[in-house]
Every structure is written in structure tokens, then in C-alpha cells.
């Protein structure tokens, strides 16, 4: 990008006079995707607006339209592009986050490296914390490696990279407020950190023994050349691909595959999955994957023969039964009947017909009224949880099919939710369309709540309207996040009125 000076900055908080409109959000979303691979869905609009508001003020701009035009122009400078990227990344991290991965290094990888060293391989361990955020992850790797190899003449080389220059600066400084260090047991804290004094009271700084093991640098996964000419024994790429679409994830993991040593390991976050690349990575326990040495595709999974398929009309004694309510998600890889009762809420029932894995969620609204962004009661998060849960159990995203239900007008008396049913229905349709998950059945709208029973292994859905005193109750309870709903006896409006989807 060429250089152009931004308009004069102002430290004073000049008000931004209009919100982030749909067209500007669309343009920013496309730009952010192109720059970072991060896919922002509609629910992130208010988040982006809030995060960029300060940037606009410091640039002295009064509208998002002006900012949008500025960052998309050829003349914007690299610093401003970095500022934009820094604004949209999510940097949540912790010391010893998902601790089983560090336990795996101790119990499996490090002993394997020692055995290789005994056969003449160099005494060295090479780890990459890709998307390291503010440094907690690579310093945890350094502590784990030093505890194992310290004083035994081993070279510990940890590369730590991130796209966000703000978090990288914090990572390099290695100074953390005491509450960030709470997950570090006292003994380790004393060994690896200096306690702050004077103006630094209440802070800890990593000791040189730790920082010497780690090299920090900026790396954007989207860059054509990563400038890495080593192979790693393990790559930690955790809690970042959740923001990428499948195409971007695949390209990223293929590149990482090439940077792993033979039979080396790739760790991903607990809500992420690599099952769609099982020809490249073998799944071990707990989101640890081992590089397969041949990239040859595995034989396709055979379809079960027709004669072995159970008769769908036969009652199933082996069917696990589960009821979910607002904000809950349930998925199963064994035959299960998951049930819920919907008022203005919606449920997505997804399943992979080949793997016979499926599940259901129960969504209150497409987005949180008060900005409670990550609650599973709300749209995108609930959908991501469901899809991830199905993938964890062996389902393939590209094979998923959807049935969607709910969005009845039972909440007329509740003020905020007047348009909730329409918005819920529109959200589900748009989300599934964008994710290219075909919708094979719907029952949306109407004025009666629905009871839905979904069979996770074969995708059958039994749906019936419910009535009686439940309707008024449901409207109230749904508004209060409806924990009671599913416990009430559901009186059908008509005993025979069950529809099979
Ligand atoms: C939620 S943090 C995860 C931190 C750490 N891996 C963990 O699991 O605790 C995600 C990080 O990914 C980084 N990130 C997002 N897009 C990236 C990209 N295209 N290239 C490199 N890093 C990226 C963000 O800046 C952020 O710090």
C-alpha cells in the first residue's frame, strides 16, 4: 500500500455522528477478510462499530463512510491498515490455557525427542505459537520446555507470531498484571517471573531465562511468504481458525503441514476441528493432531448397505433422549432424540447423513439486545457451537443438512421482541445460506409454539404445535430465558397433529 498521511489527529473525543451503516460494514467486512482471513458475520457489526469509534475520533473523522473510503483508498498507509487490523482481532488468551496440550508435550513429545536425541538427533525442541496474542501461550510453552529440558544442554526455540502489533508489543515486554498470572502456580511464578516493585507493584515480568527461549514477530497467515525456513516439532494454532471460513482454514493447515517435522504435532483450540483434513492429520485425543507422512487421501467412507439400515418406523429402544432449552446445544454420534419447545425462538437441526451425527440448538434471538456477544442464546455463537459439536463427533461440515423450526408469534406482549420471530427466521436462513448448508425442511412462523423432536442419526424431525395455557406461559418464560419451558407438560392442540419432517 502506498503512503498517504491521515487527516490531522485529534486527541479530543469528537463524536462520531452516525453509526456504521450496512454498506460500510459490508465494505469493511470484505476488506478485513482480504487482509486477515477473518470472516465477520452480521452479528459483529456493532462490535466493529464500537472498536473503530476510537480510531475515527483519533483520525478526526466524523463518519464511518469517510473512514471506509479512507482505508479502501490506494493511498492509505500501512500503519493505518495495521491499526484497522488491530481493532478487529480478538485476543483472548491465558497462561496454561487448555492445559492438556502442555501435559501432552511433557508426556509424549518431549520423551519422543529425547529418544531421537539418544539415536543421534540434535538436542533441540522447536515450537511455534502461531497467533500468540499477548504472549501467555509461548511463555507457557517456554516454562513447560524449561522444566523438562532445563540444564540438560537442550536448545529451546520457540517462534511466537501474531498479526496484531499491539498484542505483540505487550508480549515482547512480558509484563503482566497479577490477575493475568493467577493461572500460574506459585512455584512456577517464583522461578520464571520477577515481582514488580514501586510503580510496577501488582505486576510480574518474565525472567530472561524465559524470554530468551522465545522469538516474537509479526506474521499474517494471509501473507504469501511466511519467512520460516525451519521445521517444527509442534505447532500451536489455537483459537484462531474459528474466525476463518473453511477455505481459509484448509489453506492454512496445508501450509502448516509442510512446516511440521515428520510425525510432529498440531494443536488447535477446543472448539475447532481438523476432521475435514484427516488425510493430512491423524486425530489423537483432545484436539491434538499428528502429521501424517503421506498426503495420500484416505479411502472414502463406505455408505452402509441398505439392508443393514434400521427400519425408520420401528421404535428404538437404543435411542438416547435429551431435552434442550434456550441457549442449549446438543449433538450426538449415537442415535438420540433431542427435544425442545419453541415459541418465537428457533432451532436448527443439523446432521451429516453419512457419518450419522447430528444435533440441535435453541436460539433466543439472532443477536444479544445488550451486546452479550458470545452467549450461546444468540445466533451465530449458537450455530458455531452446534456445527463444532457435530464436527467433533465426526461429522463433516460440507455434508451437513438442515431443518429449521420455530419463530412463532407468541411474544406479542413482550416489547423488545415484537420482530423477534421474523428476525430469527431470517437469521437462520441467511446463516445457512452463507455457510452453504442446504435447508431441506422448515416450519417457521404461525402463532402456536412447536414441540420438536429431532433424531440426530437419520435427520427425522417430529413437529407438533402445542397449545393450552402453555402459550401465554411460554411467551413469558421465553422472555426470561425459559428454563421452565421444557419441564411443563405439553398439551398438543390435536393429538394426531404430528408432522414428520
Ligand atoms: C483468541 S487469540 C488466541 C491466542 C492463543 N493462541 C490462545 O489460544 O490463547 C487469536 C489471535 O489470532 C490472531 N490472528 C487473527 N488473524 C490472524 C492472521 N490472519 N494471522 C495471524 N494471526 C491472526 C489475533 O490477532 C489474536 O491475537
Nine-digit cell at 337?
A: 432424540
Residue ending a domain, choose from 41, 64, 88? 88
Q: If you take atom 13 of ligand 1, which residue's CA is the nearest one?
A: 131
Domain that holds residue 403: 319-500
Domain count, the chain: 3
pLDDT score of 73 = 84
414 pLDDT exceeds 50?
no
CA of 164 to the centre of ligand 1 (A): 8
CA of 21 to the centre of ligand 1 (A): 27
- Which residues contact residue 332 at a Cβ distance below 8 angstroms, ignoring those fewer than 6 apart? 320, 322, 338, 357, 358, 359, 393, 456, 457
Whole-angstrom CA distances from 177 to 131, 188, 196, 365 are 21, 16, 9, 36
Question: pLDDT exceeding 70 applies to what percent of the chain?
Answer: 82
Nine-digit cell at 405?
A: 423450526
Q: If you take atom 26 of ligand 1, which residue's CA is the nearest one?
A: 91
Instruction: Count the Cβ atoms, other than its own, within 10 Å of residue 172.
Output: 16
Pairing of strands 175-177, 450-455: unpaired
CA dihedral 324, 325, 327, 328 (to 10 degrees): -10
For 454-479, what is the mean pLDDT? 74
Are 264 and 365 within one domain?
no
Question: pLDDT exceeding 90 applies to what percent of the chain?
Answer: 54
Residue ending a domain, choose from 291, 311, 337? 291
pLDDT score of 286 = 85
Are 80 and 152 within one domain?
no
Query: Confidence band (pLDDT; 50, 70, 90) for 479?
Result: low
CATH code of the domain in which 57 resides: 1.10.155.10
Classified as helix, coil or strand, 114 is helix
**Of the candidates 96, 62, 235, the residue with the CA atom closest to the CA atom of residue 158:** 235
In-domain check, residue 298: no
Catalytic member of 51, 180, 207, 292: 51
Q: Is 199 exposed, middle or buried (0-12, 13-18, 19+ CB in 10 A)?
A: exposed
Are 137 and 175 within one domain?
yes
Are 66 and 157 within one domain?
no
Residue 164 CA: nearest ligand 1 atom is 25
3-state secondary structure 361-397: ECECECCCCCCCCCCCCEHHHHHHHHHHHHHHCCCCH
In-domain check, residue 302: no
For 202-224, what is the mean pLDDT? 96
Are 195 and 46 within one domain?
no
Task: Please identify which residue in the block is written with the cell numbers 455463537.
Answer: 381
Model confidence over 252-269: pLDDT tens digits?
Answer: 999 999 999 999 999 999
Most confident of 62-71, 184-193, 455-464: 184-193
Q: If you take atom 11 of ligand 1, which residue's CA is the nearest one?
A: 131
Model confidence over 2-13: pLDDT tens digits?
Answer: 333 444 433 334
CA of 496 to the centre of ligand 1 (A): 53
Least confident of 107-121, 339-353, 471-485: 471-485
In-domain check, residue 169: yes
Active site residue 51: yes
> What distance in Å separates the CA atoms of residue 139 and residue 158, rounded to the nearest whole number?
9
Active site residue 54: no
CA of 133 to the centre of ligand 1 (A): 6
Considering only residues 497 and 219, tell me which one the structure prediction assigns the higher pLDDT.
Answer: 219
CA of 99 to the centre of ligand 1 (A): 18
Are 125 and 231 within one domain?
yes
Are 198 and 335 within one domain?
no
Are 210 and 352 within one domain?
no
Catalytic member of 42, 162, 164, 352: 162
pLDDT score of 6 = 46
Kindly report the average pLDDT of the chain as a whole number.
Answer: 84
Residue ending a domain, choose from 60, 88, 116? 88
- Which residues contact residue 80 at a Cβ distance below 8 angstroms, ignoring those fewer than 6 apart? 6, 70, 71
**Of the candidates 471, 462, 461, the residue with the CA atom closest to the CA atom of residue 491:** 471
**Of the candidates 238, 270, 262, the residue with the CA atom closest to the CA atom of residue 252:** 238
pLDDT score of 303 = 25
pLDDT score of 304 = 28
Query: Confidence band (pLDDT; 50, 70, 90) for 483?
Result: very low
486 pLDDT exceeds 50?
no
CA of 105 to the centre of ligand 1 (A): 21
Are 108 and 81 within one domain?
no
Most confident of 23-27, 92-96, 372-376: 92-96
For 193, phi and psi rounded to 5 degrees?
Answer: -130, 150
> What distance in Å separates the CA atoms of residue 152 and residue 163, rounded to the nearest whole number?
34
Least confident of 192-196, 306-310, 363-367: 306-310
428 pLDDT exceeds 50?
yes
Residue 38 CA: nearest ligand 1 atom is 16
468 pLDDT exceeds 80?
no
Residue 219 CA: nearest ligand 1 atom is 21
pLDDT score of 440 = 81
CATH code of the domain in which 430 resides: 3.30.1330.200
315 pLDDT exceeds 70?
no
In-domain check, residue 95: no
Contact indicator for 240, 131 with CB cutoff of 8 Å? yes
**Of the candidates 278, 190, 287, 188, the residue with the CA atom closest to the CA atom of residue 236:** 287
Residue 35 CA: nearest ligand 1 atom is 19
Beta-strand ranges (E) seen in 131-283 are 155-162, 175-177, 193-195, 203-206, 214-218, 232-236, 260-267, 281-283
In-domain check, residue 47: yes
pLDDT score of 484 = 43
pLDDT score of 404 = 94
In-domain check, residue 13: no
DSSP for 26-80, please give it.
HHHHHHHHHHH-B---GGGHHHHHHHHHHHHHHHT---HHHHHHHHHSTT--HHH
196 pLDDT exceeds 70?
yes
CA of 220 to the centre of ligand 1 (A): 10
Instruction: Count the Cβ atoms, other than its own, within 10 Å of residue 261.
Output: 15
Query: Confidence band (pLDDT; 50, 70, 90) for 372?
Result: low
Are 251 and 324 within one domain?
no
Residue 86 CA: nearest ligand 1 atom is 25
Q: If you take atom 7 of ligand 1, which residue's CA is the nearest one?
A: 93
In-domain check, residue 405: yes
Contact indicator for 326, 310 with CB cutoff of 8 Å? no
In-domain check, residue 261: yes
Contact indicator for 283, 391 with CB cutoff of 8 Å? no
Residue 221 CA: nearest ligand 1 atom is 20
Most confident of 103-117, 366-380, 389-403, 431-445: 103-117
Contact indicator for 352, 399 with CB cutoff of 8 Å? yes
316 pLDDT exceeds 70?
no
> What distance in Å separates the CA atoms of residue 156 and residue 150, rounded to the nearest whole number?
9
For 451-475, what is the mean pLDDT? 78
> What distance in Å separates the CA atoms of residue 452 and residue 340, rounded to the nearest whole number?
5
> What distance in Å separates the CA atoms of residue 19 and residue 12, rounded to the nearest whole number?
19
Contact indicator for 157, 124 with CB cutoff of 8 Å? yes
296 pLDDT exceeds 50?
no
Are 487 and 360 within one domain?
yes
For 147, phi and psi rounded to 5 degrees?
Answer: -60, -35
Model confidence over 134-161: pLDDT tens digits?
Answer: 999 999 999 999 999 999 999 999 999 9
pLDDT score of 143 = 98
- Which residues contact residue 13 at a Cβ distance below 8 angstroms, ignoring those fewer than 6 apart? 57
pLDDT score of 370 = 58
**Of the candidates 274, 293, 294, 276, the residue with the CA atom closest to the CA atom of residue 284:** 274
Classified as helix, coil or strand, 158 is strand
CATH code of the domain in which 112 resides: 3.40.50.150
DSSP state, 492? B
H or E stretch at 420: helix 420-434
Residues with CB under 6 A from ligand 1: 36-38, 89-93, 97, 131, 133, 137, 162-164, 167, 219-222, 238-240, 269
Query: Confidence band (pLDDT; 50, 70, 90) for 475?
Result: low
> What distance in Å separates the CA atoms of residue 266 and residue 290, rounded to the nearest whole number?
6
Are 372 and 478 within one domain?
yes
165 pLDDT exceeds 70?
yes
Q: Choose which residue among 88, 89, 217 to substitute to test ligand 1 binding: the one with the highest number of ligand atoms within 8 A of its C-beta.
A: 89
Contact indicator for 363, 386 with CB cutoff of 8 Å? no
Model confidence over 38-52: pLDDT tens digits?
Answer: 999 888 899 899 999
Amino acid at each position: 500500500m502506498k503512503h498517504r498521511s491521515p487527516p490531522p489527529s485529534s486527541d479530543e473525543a469528537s463524536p462520531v455522528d452516525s453509526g456504521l451503516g450496512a454498506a460500510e460494514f459490508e465494505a469493511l467486512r470484505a476488506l478485513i477478510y482480504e487482509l486477515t482471513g477473518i470472516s465477520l458475520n452480521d452479528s459483529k457489526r456493532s462490535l466493529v462499530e464500537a472498536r473503530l469509534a476510537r480510531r475515527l475520533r483519533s483520525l478526526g473523522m466524523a463518519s464511518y463512510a469517510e473512514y471506509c473510503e479512507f482505508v479502501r483508498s490506494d493511498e492509505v498507509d500501512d500503519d493505518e491498515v495495521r491499526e484497522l487490523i488491530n481493532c478487529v482481532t480478538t485476543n483472548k488468551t491465558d497462561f496454561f490455557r487448555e492445559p492438556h496440550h502442555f501435559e501432552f508435550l511433557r508426556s509424549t513429545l518431549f520423551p519422543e525427542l529425547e529418544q531421537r536425541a539418544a539415536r543421534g538427533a540434535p538436542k533441540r525442541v522447536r515450537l511455534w505459537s502461531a497467533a500468540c496474542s499477548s504472549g501467555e501461550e509461548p511463555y507457557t510453552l517456554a516454562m513447560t520446555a524449561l522444566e523438562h529440558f532445563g540444564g540438560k544442554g537442550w536448545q529451546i526455540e520457540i517462534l511466537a507470531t501474531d498479526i496484531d502489533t499491539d498484542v505483540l508489543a505487550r508480549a515482547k515486554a512480558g509484563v503482566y498484571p497479577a490477575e493475568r498470572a493467577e493461572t500460574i502456580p506459585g512455584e512456577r511464578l517464583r522461578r520464571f517471573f520477577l515481582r514488580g516493585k514501586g510503580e510496577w507493584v501488582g505486576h510480574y515480568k518474565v525472567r530472561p531465562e524465559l524470554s530468551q527461549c522465545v522469538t516474537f514477530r509479526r506474521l499474517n497467515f494471509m501473507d504469501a511468504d511466511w519467512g520460516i525456513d525451519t521445521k517444527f516439532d509442534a505447532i500451536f494454532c489455537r483459537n484462531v481458525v474459528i474466525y476463518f471460513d473453511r477455505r481459509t482454514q484448509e489453506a492454512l493447515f496445508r501450509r502448516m503441514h509442510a512446516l511440521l517435522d515428520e510425525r510432529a504435532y498440531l494443536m488447535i483450540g477446543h472448539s475447532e476441528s481438523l476432521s475435514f483434513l484427516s488425510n493430512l492429520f491423524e486425530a489423537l485425543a483432545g484436539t491434538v493432531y499428528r502429521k501424517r507422512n503421506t498426503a495420500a487421501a484416505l479411502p472414502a467412507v463406505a455408505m452402509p448397505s441398505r439392508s443393514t439400515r434400521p427400519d425408520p418406523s420401528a421404535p428404538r429402544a437404543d435411542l438416547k433422549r435429551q431435552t434442550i432449552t434456550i441457549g442449549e446445544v446438543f449433538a450426538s454420534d449415537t442415535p438420540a432424540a433431542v427435544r425442545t419447545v419453541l415459541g418465537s425462538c428457533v432451532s436448527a437441526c443439523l446432521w451429516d447423513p453419512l457419518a450419522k451425527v447430528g444435533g440441535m440448538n435453541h436460539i433466543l434471538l439472532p443477536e444479544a439486545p445488550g451486546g452479550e456477544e458470545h452467549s450461546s442464546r444468540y445466533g451465530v455463537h449458537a450455530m458455531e457451537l452446534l456445527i463444532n459439536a457435530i464436527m467433533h463427533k465426526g461429522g463433516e461440515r460440507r455434508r451437513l443438512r438442515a431443518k429449521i423450526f420455530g419463530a412463532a408469534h407468541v411474544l406479542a406482549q413482550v416489547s423488545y421482541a415484537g420482530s423477534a420471530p421474523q428476525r430469527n427466521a431470517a437469521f437462520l436462513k441467511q446463516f445457512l445460506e452463507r455457510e452453504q448448508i442446504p435447508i431441506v425442511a422448515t416450519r417457521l412462523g404461525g402463532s402456536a409454539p412447536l414441540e420438536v423432536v429431532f433424531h440426530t442419526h437419520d435427520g427425522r424431525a417430529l413437529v407438533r404445535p402445542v397449545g393450552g395455557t402453555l402459550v401465554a406461559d411460554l411467551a413469558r418464560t421465553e422472555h426470561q430465558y425459559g428454563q421452565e419451558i421444557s419441564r411443563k407438560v405439553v398439551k398438543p392442540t390435536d393429538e394426531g397433529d404430528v408432522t414428520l419432517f
